[in-house]
Amino acid sequence: MLLVVFSFLASSIQAQIDTTYIKAFDGKLATRIYSLNEAATLVIDPLAEGPDLSYRPNSKQHFGIAVYYKWFGLGLAVQSPFTNPNQDIYGNSKSIDLRLNAYGRLVNAELAYVNYRGYYLENTPKIIDSHLPGDQYYIRDDLSIESVSGLVYFVPNHKKHSFKAAYIQNEYQLKSSGSLIIAPAFQLNRLTADESLIPQDYSTKYDVFDEDKLVRGKFNVVGVFVGYSYTLVFLERCYVNAAMLPGAFMQYYNYHTEENHYQKNNSYFLWTIRLALGYNGKHWFAGMGGVSGFNTALIPIETPAFALGIEQFRIWIGTRFAFKPRIKAEKHLEAPIKLNL
């Protein structure tokens, strides 16, 4: 699959652009530093008639650096070393975030790896009757979620609409424009815990089925988004980009409860939204943006629904500068000296 994507990207790099809409910074390296707030959330919609269970990590802020050259990009973010001020209420989470981007013009691709350990039940006050304001939330230090996800964005109107200008800033959108977006996507998730993620208070209050009592498993999603992206340019070098991408997906469950093993397939309508606001100057750029995606399924079909979502918000500042990889010059023999006799 990667070979197919990169072959598309190779041809995408050569795709022509309308220079009245897009300016390319060819031969320049774009680099930026950024802060990142991110969460890999888990929503459990049991067969029982009770409310959903929403697990969220108490994530520290991340700080990272990213570099982009032509179509290739690489970013790495690490957790802040400072103590989380809400740790007494929401517990402590640890995480790793690694992203690989390849942005052409017709084709753009993203690959991400995240690993979170330590979660709290976000709707604890509604689930645990004995919970009082100021009490610690229901915490699962043993819950770990590992996710690999990838998206390939096809931009039919790439001659006038630039994803690179909005998200990696090695192009500059001169005029407002939009495009249909077609985005095949996948997500491979692995979840582990020491015991059922259904709290005892919940099991006592509602008629919980064994299928609801998730302990560990794999949850893989594949499908395609079809939506629209639009960039509004104002004050010459400022912009707002919004992309709304609903999609149809299949999810494969392979999970264990404390007593049994289940394998199921399910059909879903999922969606993702991307937003960015920024300034794209001649040498410097800055902005903020967010992504919310792979969210709760709209149509669970005769099975518990386990939905994993990746949410992001980042702020960045960066610059561009000329960059040419050095190529060692070949040695040539000097021409013989001509003697006049």
Where would I find the H helices in the chain?
A: 2-13, 87-90, 124-127, 163-167, 200-205
Q: Can you tell me the distance from the alpha carbon of 275 to that of 60, in angstroms, rounded to the nearest whole number?
A: 22
185-214 pLDDT per residue, tens: 998 999 999 999 999 999 888 988 898 899
Domains in the chain, please, with CATH? 2-321 (2.40.128)
Q: How confident is the model at residue 334 (pLDDT cuts 50, 70, 90)?
A: very low
Secondary structure (3-state) at 234: strand
The pLDDT value recorded for residue 304 is 62
165-174 pLDDT per residue, tens: 998 898 999 9
The pLDDT value recorded for residue 81 is 78
Q: How confident is the model at residue 237 (pLDDT cuts 50, 70, 90)?
A: very high
Q: Can you tell me the distance from the alpha carbon of 173 to that of 171, in angstroms, rounded to the nearest whole number?
A: 7
- pTM listed for this prediction: 0.82
Over residues 37-61, mean pLDDT: 87
